[in-house]
Amino acid sequence: MIPCTSADNLSYYFPHHCVVKDDSGTTKIRVVFDGSSKGSNNLSLNDVLLPGPKLQNDIVTILLTFRFFPIVFSTDIRQMYRMIGIHEQDLKYQKILWRFDPSNPIQEYTLCTVTYGLNCSPYLAIRTLHQLAKDYGEEFPLARDILLKSTYVDDIIGLGHSVKGILELQKQLTDLLFCGGFELRKWTSNCKELLSLVPESHQHNISFNDNANCILKILGLQWNPVLDVFSYSVKPIARECTKRVILSEIAKIYDPLGFVAPVVLVAKCLIQRLWIQGVGWDEVPTSDVVSQWQVYVSQLPLLSSFAIPRHVTISDAVCTELHGYCDASLLAYGGVLYMRQIDSEGNVHVNLLCAKSKVCPLKVLSVPRLETCAALLLSNLMHFVITNSPIKFDRIYAWSDSSVALYWIKSHPSRLKTFVANRVQQTQDRIPPNRWFHISGVGNPADCLSCSLLPKQLLDHPLWFNGPPWLKLSHELWPTPLEFDKG
């Protein structure tokens, strides 16, 4: 910031305060400026600024792609906003009152860079990175693609198939951002060779000799780069059971890929139940709800026992399949995806990819109609993965245990009633009818999503994490004849 020299009455003064983040490894105290504070004309700076179009990449897409590469790294741009200057004509809208010492008088200063607290700041920052990639992209092609596709604000995810490739990407990314005056720090990776080229002061504080304490956040998801697994750590606070407390505790479980979706669903159903009963935000619900919540909260720490492999692909795959399962009940419905790969020696590898669930609407629907909703949710999820996956799937399979829903999906929508016809049409547009197959309800892993599970139940549930046991077998030994399997 610089001393203010403008005498123009058309200006804006930022109220500001500090935010303390104890778990930050670098900046524990950060100044936040309140661009929504209204002036004498009852307008704030955010009221008159346009936020700009959304340039931010989808975080679920980045995390999904993160799982398909054997060697990865994570880094972020040091003080990204502070490295981007503001046009001189706009500086008068970024004034603050400040003094560096209590003995000194309060003075006016002007902030010269992109500022936290304005609704347009994320757009300005990301747009600057895009321009940097455009200006120097031909010189650094690997870094350009990462900057455009695998960056979430100031967090950058690097992906590679070999040590040589990831080291070249690291060099290009560092050089490209240096052209814009940006510095990368907080490096972490599952590749020791990469970290050996980074000064220790620019690394996350991790040790490859200490598996237990080598845990950090990757776009909000807990990752251990030494063991190369995702994990969870939930420590609920002992408080009286209310709707506000339930929402507060469930918000602590960050699960964008749905690894523990059956557990999160328990709290979702409780919230819906409280809405139906008309319970207030701070009102204690009925004893049965309180009892169920206490059991749930007491088991939440068990989530720390989960370890989900980050890397899900094999280098010598001769066949890659995507399997999706859906199910519905009067409580909820959902879908879960698994990737099945066969290596050059005929061994089968199955991994949980992602999942999604929804609580059933308050309007009562028949189970077959809910099964159709589950099929639509699954088709959307499969289409999302197929579209955004860096690998090509040789075959896709969609499974449901509802014969009625499968009959509708394999029918022409014109023969069906409006509610079902609309959902069937959308389902068929995403996943062809001949890729849908029947599975028994007992072996359907999506049953975990329709009924919900407590953490202890999910911990001992191999069907959820590994899919049906017959997925490990050859096609001829599967329980359902694939009469529609044309490849």
pLDDT in tens, the chain (487 residues): 556 555 556 788 888 888 887 666 566 677 888 888 888 888 889 999 999 999 999 999 999 999 999 999 999 999 999 999 999 988 888 888 888 788 888 888 899 999 988 999 999 999 999 999 999 999 999 999 999 999 999 999 999 999 999 999 999 999 999 999 999 999 999 998 999 998 888 888 766 666 656 788 899 899 999 899 999 988 888 888 899 999 988 888 899 999 999 999 999 999 999 999 888 999 999 999 999 999 999 999 999 888 999 999 999 999 999 999 999 999 999 999 999 999 999 999 999 999 999 999 999 999 999 999 999 999 999 999 999 999 999 999 999 999 999 999 999 999 999 999 999 999 999 999 999 999 998 889 999 999 989 999 998 888 999 999 999 998 888 876 554 444 3
Contact (CB, 8 A) for 327 and 440: no
Of the residues 305, 325, 340, the one at which a domain ends: 305
- Tell me the angle at which helices 287-299 and 261-277 cross, rounded to the nearest 10 degrees: 160
The answer on 358 and 341 residing in a single domain is yes
The answer on 91 and 217 residing in a single domain is yes
Of the residues 170, 200, 229, the one at which a domain ends: 229
Does residue 484 lie within any of the structural domains?
no
Of the residues 206, 229, 252, the one at which a domain ends: 229
- Structural domain boundaries enclosing 345: 314-467
The answer on 295 and 171 residing in a single domain is no
The answer on 261 and 202 residing in a single domain is no
Nearest to 349 by CA among 324, 323, 325: 323
Does residue 212 lie within any of the structural domains?
yes
The answer on 102 and 251 residing in a single domain is no
**Rounded Cα distance, 140 and 432, in Å:** 40
The answer on 409 and 380 residing in a single domain is yes
Does residue 478 lie within any of the structural domains?
no
Is the pTM higher than 0.85?
Answer: yes
Q: What distance separates the 2 farthest-apart alpha carbons in the chain? A: 85
For the beta sheet containing 155-160, the strands, ordered from the edge strand earlier in sequence to the opposite edge, are: 151-152, 155-160, 71-77, 184-189
SS3 for 398?
A: strand
The answer on 437 and 381 residing in a single domain is yes
